[in-house]
Chains A and B, each alone.
Chain A
Amino acid sequence: MGSHGIKDRVAIIGMGCTPFVEHWDRGTDDLLIEATAEAFADAGVRKEQVDAYWLGTAQSGMSGLTLAKPLQLQGKPVTRVENMCATGSDALRQAAYAVASGAYDVAMAVGVEKVKDGGFQGLNAFPIPGDGTARTLTAAAMFSMVVPAYGEKYGVSEGEMREVLSHIAAKNHYNGARNPRAQFRKEIAAEKISAMPKLAGQLGVFDCAGVADGAAAAIVVRAEDAHLYTDKPLYIKALSLVAGNGSGVIDPEYDYTTFREIAACAEDAYRQAGITDPREELAMAEVHDCFTPTELVLMEDLRFADRGTAWKDVLAGAFDLDGRLPVNPDGGLKSFGHPVGASGLRMMFEAWLQLRGAAPAERRIPADGRRLALTHNLGGYPGDMVSFISILGSELG
């Protein structure tokens, strides 16, 4: 028994990603067609050549028919995947494992979410019949509880915490301003972010990810077949998923300054990929910055910083576009918005562009020989979440 991973056994040979915006004029079908068409063209593959499909969507459709119908797939297996905010990533994980198993030669993972047709601000979950005792807070409020807890544990004043959170948001807006697929393409000064009225706890609107519709897609094949399709494949080094037991919510030992599921997921992913020092070995990371304090804690759970020190690294610019380890060079959830089923694949799309040197010059990460990227999603709340991590690389070995 063990989590062995599939390092260097599967490669991505083509990707597609729609702009993430409020697509008032386009439906789920349109977004799926656009993202998959770009991926097909990128890989030079027709839909008939793809042997199996995995569709990630949290609540924009039921079953594989959600993809099979708009694409007019004939006689193909299509599986719908749902794993909260890790939905798109988990679709890729299923497709990659299916190819690694030898069951299929070519597989496609697609993620989509049509969020803005709901008519409400923010993300809203499906009502599941229950006894009525479950909490009904917004995600912003749940993640806001990290702020006083982190500040108290590590002796960071309220003002310093505010400065750290605003730096994270300003950095991601800076990067997003350089990305034509991002929803928000304006730089926003940290001072302005700090001055916003508070929506939940100490979080203002600029501490929260945007909300958008979008889709993204990836085509995977066995690593040895990759060069039949492209000169610059991206190899899958690790795919790790942890679904927590929810104990953080009810365990008095949990202190709201870490996400246990993510720390465990990171250990597994680094082991699969053979990474020992992520902050030196990774060229970039796309992480789940649903709220600014989330990104702060992630820097420690992903071992990009020692416990209690990430806030200093953030302020020192360690995770800026030109920093030691660029985090969210595409602008993150902050600039893109969060079409749940699509976000994980959108992150991989940025790794696809950056590691292959295809990212536009104005947001290109430093070329210093590092060839690995990490993408990370979480779904749920502090103490009660799923975590996904992928590690991708442009070279074998």
Chain B
Amino acid sequence: MTTDGTAVSTGRGILGYGAYLPYRRLDRKTIAAVAGTGGGKGTRTVASFDEDTTTLAVEAARNTLRATPGADPRALLFATVAPAYTDRTNATAIHAALRLDGSVPAMDAGGSVRSAAGLLRLALTGADSALVVGADIRVGLPGSPDEAAGGDGASALLVGGPADGPVLAEYLGGGAATAEFVDRWRTPGDVRSKLWEEKFGENNYLAAGRRAWTDALKATGLTAEQVDHAVVAGLHGRAVAGLGRRLGLREGALGDDLSGTVGNTGAAHPGLLLAATLETAAPGAVIALVVLSDGADVFLFRAGDALAAYRPTRTVAEQIAGGAPLPYGKYLAWRGLLPVEPPRRPEPARTSSSAAVRSVDWKYGFVGARDRESGAVHLPPQRVSMTGGNVDDMEPVPTADVLGTVKTFTVDRMAYSPSPPVVFAVVDFDNGGRLPIELTDMDASEVAIGDRVEPTFRRLGTADGIHNYFWKARPVRTARAAEEA
């Protein structure tokens, strides 16, 4: 075991934060009736059939950037344990959906929850601003503890220094303990992880956690009593709970690990817990983030005055409150664990890579075109206007953050979909454009003319192993409805 207590006083820290929890919830009580075992109390979040870790990451990152005026990350760092692709980088699709400049590097760190903590550490101790994104979809075999304890979600932290914007929470320093012990393992391609005897992992994590914690306090000159909020993330539930009790914190300082409502979101969880903490912390508060994964990582922050004025696009709390139930059978089908009869229609053809490159601003960025002469908005962008005769007299119209209204709609019970029926609407966007677009995160009976909807980045499907990312629309349900009022 090695350890490294580090103190820094660069003034760097968290400039912005955001989280994304998918709309659907699985009630753990419903598991045992089908699987014969497993389940438990509470709910877990479930990524929709049209979401993967890349799209979850986009939503969390959008929430973060929208809430952080002037955000200009100079790097995009993405961690997941369930990458949509291997060999190629997933962060590039996130980069494209966020419309970051081509000069901004984007990279993945995959394979373990520790990658998320590692990227955060790199960003906090680095020089440039960076958007650190974590996303996961946690799966286990039906009835398994991982299935019930897991959760799906994403988090994004914008990290930088005072020159990059107001620092919401300054990084004071931290500690790390790296330890090699095989308590959980999954070979690439497997759905399920396997676990060693639980007490073995717990002992190792408690030792690593205590050591990193001690070093972090020593490095920052803080005592455990001075920590106002602490959260612990990690896939070993007993170790997470056990370490929390042993940190020597004041009564009430240990934050909810969200296992009862969200579940453990793997690589997203450290950022998610930190975001949830920042939502309620007062300026001046000392915040500790502990991550138990193949050792331990501890990060200590002090909330700054700017935190009081920061308004998350959607708080973790309201996203937890805002979901809707999903039957267990549908959950299994969405995760590919219950093969169901596909629609008797031809599967969509694979996306053309060259065509996708030509339309990257539209496909990933949802950028239309406005005729400079007539003002007519074209979704997708056109070179020749539908009004007037001008060629190439268009300006870009970013539409990803524009709300729209349902003008007419249909429910297609025959179209190919990974989860029929397809709910589809003609949507007029507030910027003047119209697009017939698939709706998501809703039941087919809900849709009505006049509904307000907002774009959301989704995976339309996969053909020949090529994921087809594009935008759908979902009902406006949360903070943005209030924003409108």
Contacts and interface: CB of A to CB of B under 8 A. Distances in A.
Given A137-B422, A250-B379, A129 B349 contact: yes
A369 interface: no
A141 B424 contact: yes
A132 interface: yes
Interface centre among B348, B411, B428, B432, by most chain A C-beta atoms within 10 angstroms, is B411
A28 to B, nearest CB: 19
B351 interface: yes
A319 interface: no
Contacts of A135: 424, 436-438
A130 B416 CA distance: 17
B362 interface: yes
Nearest to A142: B410
A149 interface: yes
A251 interface: yes
B352 A201 contact: no
Contacts of A199: 412-414
A133 B345 contact: no
Interface string B335-366: 00000000011101101100110110011000
Contacts of B408: 145, 148-149, 256
B441 to A, nearest CB: 18
Contacts of B410: 137, 141-142, 144-145, 200-201
Nearest to A208: B414
B127 interface: no
Q: How large is the interface on B (under 10, 10 to 19, 20 to 34, 35 or more residues)?
A: 35 or more
Nearest to B377: A250
B84 to A, nearest CB: 15
A138 B349 CA distance: 15
Contacts of B438: 135
Given A130-B352, A200-B414, A250 B434 contact: yes
Interface stretch (A119-127, A165-173, A209-217): A119-127
B25 interface: no
Contacts of A247: 386
Nearest to A149: B408
Contacts of A252: 407, 428, 432-434
B468 A132 contact: yes
B346 A124 contact: yes
A106 B355 CA distance: 44
B386 A251 contact: yes
B331 interface: no
The A interface, classified by DSSP as helix, strand, loop or mixed, is loop
Contacts of A120: 344-346
B310 interface: no
B356 A141 contact: no
Given A131-B356, A145-B409, A245-B386, A140 B414 contact: yes
Contacts of A149: 407-408
Contacts of B436: 135, 249
Contacts of B378: 250
A156 B416 CA distance: 32
A4 interface: no
A121 to B, nearest CB: 6
Contacts of B348: 127, 132, 136
B426 interface: yes
A117 interface: no
Given A145-B408, A245-B386, A250-B435, A132 B426 contact: no
Given A132-B470, A136-B348, A152 B449 contact: yes
Contacts of A148: 408-409, 449
A200 B413 contact: yes
A150 B435 CA distance: 19
B255 interface: no
Contacts of A138: 345, 412, 414-415
A139 B468 CA distance: 22
A15 B351 CA distance: 43
A370 interface: no
B380 interface: yes
Contacts of A198: 411, 413
Interface centre among B408, B410, B435, by most chain A C-beta atoms within 10 angstroms, is B410
A190 to B, nearest CB: 22
A148 B358 CA distance: 36
Contacts of B413: 198-200
Contacts of B414: 121-122, 138, 140-141, 199-200
Contacts of A245: 386
A127 B349 contact: yes
A354 B457 CA distance: 55
Contact of B411 (A124, A201, A254, A256): A201
B412 A140 contact: yes
B460 interface: yes
30 contacts: A120-B344, A120-B345, A121-B414, A130-B351, A130-B352, A131-B351, A131-B352, A131-B358, A131-B362, A132-B351, A132-B355, A132-B356, A132-B363, A136-B348, A137-B415, A141-B411, A141-B412, A141-B424, A142-B410, A145-B426, A148-B408, A148-B449, A149-B407, A198-B413, A201-B409, A201-B411, A249-B435, A250-B377, A250-B378, A250-B379
Q: State the 4 A-B residue pairs at the shortest beta-carbon distance, nearest first.
A: A127-B349, A141-B412, A132-B351, A129-B352
Interface of B: 344-346, 348-349, 351-352, 355-356, 358-359, 362-363, 376-380, 386, 407-416, 422, 424, 426, 428, 432-438, 449, 460, 468-470
Given A121-B344, A141-B415, A252-B432, 19 more contacts: A120-B344, A120-B346, A121-B345, A122-B414, A130-B351, A131-B363, A135-B437, A135-B438, A141-B412, A198-B411, A199-B413, A200-B410, A200-B412, A249-B434, A249-B436, A250-B434, A251-B434, A254-B434, A256-B407
